Amino acid sequence: MVNDMEYIILDLEFNGTYSKHRHKFVNEIIEFGAVKCDEQLNIIETFSELVKPQISKKLNSHVSALTHITIDELKKCNNTFSHVMSKFRKFLGDGVLMTWSNSDVLVLIENYKYFYGNDKLPFMKYYVNAQKYCERALGYHDKARQLGLSTCAEMLGVSFEDDSLHRAYNDAELTAACFKALYDKDLLQQFIYTCDDDFYRRINFKNYNICDLKDPGVDKREMFFNCENCGRRALRRSKWRLKNRSFRANFRCLRCHRDFEGRIIFKQCYDHVDVTKKTAEVEHKEKKRRKKTEQKPTE
């Protein structure tokens, strides 16, 4: 259990570019923004720095439009990644690092590896994914769509200006406000990761949809559907087939005489499998024939 800690909420802005030297695409960081909160979640210190690009001399037009940062601003700041990284390490200290989703911490790792050759952040001791924490605290369970920062703020009644989003410091400040509004000390302990080898294996793991019914991650006990009208177990009327990375089969409710297609997605995560079920109505052959006839152009 982590007690009496400071919380450092970090947000990054980055520019997708191609490195000719490494022959690969890199998300080069162009701005750091962070706030430091005490145990009572009061902001006690702030951090905001632009970063002069070293990989690319051009700024993606989409990034520029989104952040309102110009390439001239970045060139004039004279802060290389190493300079800003040195300052941020001191700012972080022994505190708990937090980001909204793990994308920013992955970009930080990516940049640190590019410039220092190390795929681990030796100065980061503890980490929290603020997005996952807020989703749990709010009881948000939409697997198809992750909770966005602005959506979270709106749900909590935390005010913000649309124009202020997509700048590192403003997003970090908004994340801190959402975190404070949902703070639960006991719940938070479940989301604090010690940054050991297992943490890096976990955060670098790429979730994927299982596409083989024989895969041990497929729980056959989940391969059923209940009728959405009466709740009764439906009868499967076809073999399972794979389409668009989901297993599908035709079902019928014998009580309601309702036909539908059941769709199941098994997503392999680092230490568990997420199961998502959906249904879709099935058109009978007669209905399809009638629809085709109606769509035929008249002479």
Model confidence pLDDT, tens digit, residues 256-291? 999 999 999 999 999 999 999 999 998 765 455 555
**pLDDT attached to residue 2:** 60
Positive or negative torsion for Cα 288, 291, 295, 298: positive
Q: List the structure tokens of 141.
A: 């369970």
Residue 78: the pLDDT is 86
Amino acid at 140: Y
**Distance (Å, whole) CA 119 – CA 14:** 18
148 vs 290: CA distance, rounded Å: 44
Q: How far apart are CA 49 and CA 12, in angstroms?
A: 10
Cβ proximity of 32 and 168 under 8 Å: yes
Average pLDDT over the chain reads 93
Nearest to 228 by CA among 256, 248, 247, 249: 256
Is the pLDDT confidence value at 298 over 80? no
Q: How confident is the model at residue 294 (pLDDT cuts 50, 70, 90)?
A: low
**Does an H or E element contain 288, and which?**
helix 285-295
Question: Which CATH code fits 7-204?
Answer: 3.30.420.10
Q: How far is it, in rounded angstroms, from Cα 237 to Cα 258?
A: 12
87 pLDDT band (50/70/90 cuts)?
very high
Burial class of residue 201 in the structure, from the number of CB atoms within 10 Å of its CB (0-12 exposed, 13-18 middle, 19+ buried): exposed
pLDDT attached to residue 162: 72
pTM, whole model, 2 decimals? 0.85
Q: What is the pLDDT of residue 89?
A: 98
Return the SS3 of 143.
coil
| pLDDT greater at residue 170 or residue 78 | 170
Q: How far apart are the first and last CA of the chain?
A: 77
Quote the pLDDT of residue 46.
Answer: 98
* The predicted structure's pLDDT at residue 176: 97
